[in-house]
Amino acid sequence: MPTPEPTATEQNQAMDQALTILRRIYGYDHFRHNQADIIRTLIEGRDALTLMPTGGGKSLCYQIPALVREGVGVVVSPLIALMQDQVAALRQLGIRAAFLNSTLDPATARQVEGELLRGELDLLYVAPERLLTDAMLGLLERCRIALFAIDEAHCVSQWGHDFRPEYQRLSLLHQRFPAVPRIALTATADRRTRDEIVDQLQLQQAERFINSFDRPNIRYLISDRGNGRDEMWRFLQAEHPGDAGIVYCLSRRRVEETAAWLSGRGREALPYHAGLDADTRRRHQERFLREEGLIIVATIAFGMGIDKPDVRFVAHLNLPKSIEAYYQETGRAGRDGEPADAWMSFGLQDVITLRQFVEATDADERFKRVAHHKLEAMLGLCDLTGCRRQALLAYFGETLEQPCGNCDNCLHPPATWDATEPARMALSCVYRTGQRFGVNYLIDVLKGKQDERIQRNRHHRLSTFGIGAALSGPDWRGIFRQLISLGYLDIDHEGHGALRLTDRCRPLLRGEETLRLRRQRRPEKRPAAGRASAVAGLDEADRPLFEALRRLRLELAREQGVPPYVIFHDRTLREMAGHRPASRAELETINGVGASKLERYGDRFLAAIREFPAAPGATAATPLSP
């Protein structure tokens, strides 16, 4: 049943209503980015494609129009845990929200369906698989629908690391409900993916809203020194000794080993990967969302849509497959806008493994070419010597005029060196050993190792035997890695990682060109660059009150079985501690305190604040902007 289109006067009134909802329900005075334009588009009954960085406020773009327009807003969400957390947060705000998924028993599902049919829901979250069933579509045809919101819309792309084939069938919504506005939202989409979203979802007439991809609060740190686990430990101890974070690994086995290793060294860490049973994955994810200071060690099976705002770091112990994957995974840090770190350690084996993985797939050649292109772009980001943020944004078609000053290359500019002769040695060694051997063997030959296998192959008689003894093993691994990433060497995926020459190496071997490579950094103690803590920006006198408010928040969250941030974000608690409201009217001026939360929690937080009187002569802090 389509929703009648509003008149111009009604549209203006509706936008006034939208701002009232923002203030009254969500507790904020102003829209951010282009939220107002997106909301107006949907209220007026038009489609929208929205790209907004993680933590930029995408959910408000469909939640508020769903409250303004008649009917229920139907949200397509890819993950059960994400639906449940968003519904819990909405109910805290007094919004009538529910979800339909496989976790509900039949009686509860029927209850939700009844609420839907009676018009008693503002928002309904549903997975694409369930939405596309005849039964669900038939149910929706009996309802008044305000809008369809397709979250994590990049899942439509067959080139993406989060591809969900069901998303490609969501164009059915436009065919079955042509008068209902749709919004597709994502934080991660290059030009190819944006075009694919438009084509697959039939959004050719949609307004496009593309915000900056920049997350200036995230510091990007990429290391090629090897021994990543020990290096990560030094980083965590120096920068994030008690913070919550995510560590990504390429394999399930490494996930398990790393979680156990971190736990053994005193950090509480839990594994998460597709090999664990569903109940274990659910429990580990719930603990991560509800507890403070917990580390999740995971494969990419974890994280899409994770709503935890205070993840202070994301660490990669292996090279991601693409810049899109890297951007999306690192974007789970610092959703609250406070400083956070994206740290990564990668090495030669990562490059070899991912190259072999691409070649070994059953995909067609076109897919392999695209996958290779994405991997080359990721390697280029790792090996560049300039500002990483400029390169990252350029990949998404955005220009950053000046270096960011908040990545490792800006903070500690890397050195380069003339590697022409060592590179020729390495390439000659590959050629003279018959292009049949992997990196470790080639390094042994170059360093002149007395090895039975080398003797048996008579490679100790080669001119390249021992000519690289002046360089260390790690130095040679760095050279081989960069020769592979720059395209001078290829990997024989059928030959257990054997290296072979490419046509690109001919000018270098002939002496027609020189080669400068990035010099590997040695382990160093890096000074912190304005790291965040929960008490950042608070006067010393206000910190005891802030900690008391956090304890109260945790108590309330445990009583209700919800994550603490669903009650109030740290930013809201900091503002309370600094401003010290003395009445409900003053508390309502704090950002993030809407009418429902004021009614639910106002008296208890005001009572906690009264126990910490301000020091004589202290002035109230200026409230934070949303």
Strand partners, 492: 498
Write down how long the chain is. 626
Task: Identify whether residues 316 and 454 lie together within a single domain.
Answer: no
12-36 residue pLDDT tens: 788 899 999 999 999 988 898 789 9
Strands (E), 371-488: 416-418
Residue 529 has pLDDT above 50, yes or no: no
**Single-letter amino acid code for the residue at 47:** D
Residues 551 and 28: their CA atoms lie apart, in Å, by 24
CATH number at residue 494: 1.10.10.10
CATH number at residue 176: 3.40.50.300
Q: Give me the pLDDT at residue 244, please.
A: 93
Residues 418 and 242: their CA atoms lie apart, in Å, by 42
Last residue of a domain, one of 407, 436, 451: 407
List of residues 6+ apart from 523 with CB closer than 8 A: 225, 231, 234
Average pLDDT over residues 402-409: 94
Task: Identify whether residues 261 and 403 lie together within a single domain.
Answer: yes
- Residue 313: φ, ψ to 5°: -150, 150
Structure tokens at 289: 């969302």
Closest by Cα among 424, 376, 419, 611 to 519: 419
What pLDDT band is residue 411 in, cutting at 50, 70 and 90? very high
Task: Identify whether residues 313 and 197 lie together within a single domain.
Answer: no
Print the domain residue range for 311.
218-346+396-407
- 487 belongs to a structural domain: yes
CATH number at residue 600: 1.10.150.80
Task: Identify whether residues 143 and 264 lie together within a single domain.
Answer: no
Task: Identify whether residues 490 and 600 lie together within a single domain.
Answer: no
- Burial, 291: exposed, middle or buried (Cβ in 10 Å; 0-12, 13-18, 19+)? middle
Task: Identify whether residues 282 and 232 lie together within a single domain.
Answer: yes
What pLDDT band is residue 620 in, cutting at 50, 70 and 90? very low
DSSP label of 407: B
- 105 belongs to a structural domain: yes
Q: Give me the pLDDT at residue 155, please.
A: 86
Task: Identify whether residues 514 and 555 lie together within a single domain.
Answer: no
Task: Identify whether residues 102 and 246 lie together within a single domain.
Answer: no
- 167 belongs to a structural domain: yes
Mean pLDDT, all residues of the chain: 87
Residues 1 and 28: their CA atoms lie apart, in Å, by 33
265-290 residue pLDDT tens: 999 999 999 899 988 988 898 889 88
Task: Identify whether residues 155 and 274 lie together within a single domain.
Answer: no
Q: How many CB atoms lie within 10 A of CB 321?
A: 18
Residue 486 has pLDDT above 50, yes or no: yes
Angle at alpha carbon of residue 449, lines to 444 and 451, rounded to 5°? 95
Q: Give me the pLDDT at residue 562, please.
A: 85
Global pTM? Answer: 0.78
Higher pLDDT, 465 or 374: 465
- 375 belongs to a structural domain: no
The CA dihedral of 186, 191, 194, 198, to the nearest 10 degrees, is 170
Average pLDDT over residues 397-426: 92
Report helix angle 439-446 to 420-432, nearest 10.
Answer: 110
Task: Identify whether residues 253 and 199 lie together within a single domain.
Answer: no
- 382 belongs to a structural domain: no
- DSSP reduced 3-state for 27: coil
DSSP label of 517: E
Structure tokens at 93: 């705000």
Q: Give me the pLDDT at residue 528, please.
A: 45
Structure tokens at 620: 């109230």
- 378 belongs to a structural domain: no
Query: Percent of the chain at pLDDT above 70?
Result: 91
The CA dihedral of 496, 315, 481, 415, to the nearest 10 degrees, is -170
40-81 residue pLDDT tens: 999 999 999 999 887 778 899 999 999 999 999 999 988 777
Q: What is the DSSP string of 319-369?
A: --SSHHHHHHHHTTS-TTSS-EEEEEE--HHHHHHHHHHHHHS---HHHHH
Domain count, the chain: 4
Residue 337 has pLDDT above 90, yes or no: no
Average pLDDT over residues 572-590: 92
Residues 147 and 269: their CA atoms lie apart, in Å, by 40
Residue 304 has pLDDT above 60, yes or no: no
Q: What is the DSSP string of 231-277?
A: HHHHHHHHH-TT--EEEE-SSHHHHHHHHHHHHHTT--EEEE-TTS-
- 356 belongs to a structural domain: no
- Burial, 625: exposed, middle or buried (Cβ in 10 Å; 0-12, 13-18, 19+)? exposed
Task: Identify whether residues 226 and 199 lie together within a single domain.
Answer: no
Residues 134 and 117: their CA atoms lie apart, in Å, by 16
Task: Identify whether residues 201 and 119 lie together within a single domain.
Answer: yes
- 305 belongs to a structural domain: yes
Residue 339 has pLDDT above 70, yes or no: yes
242 in Cβ contact with 362 (< 8 Å): no
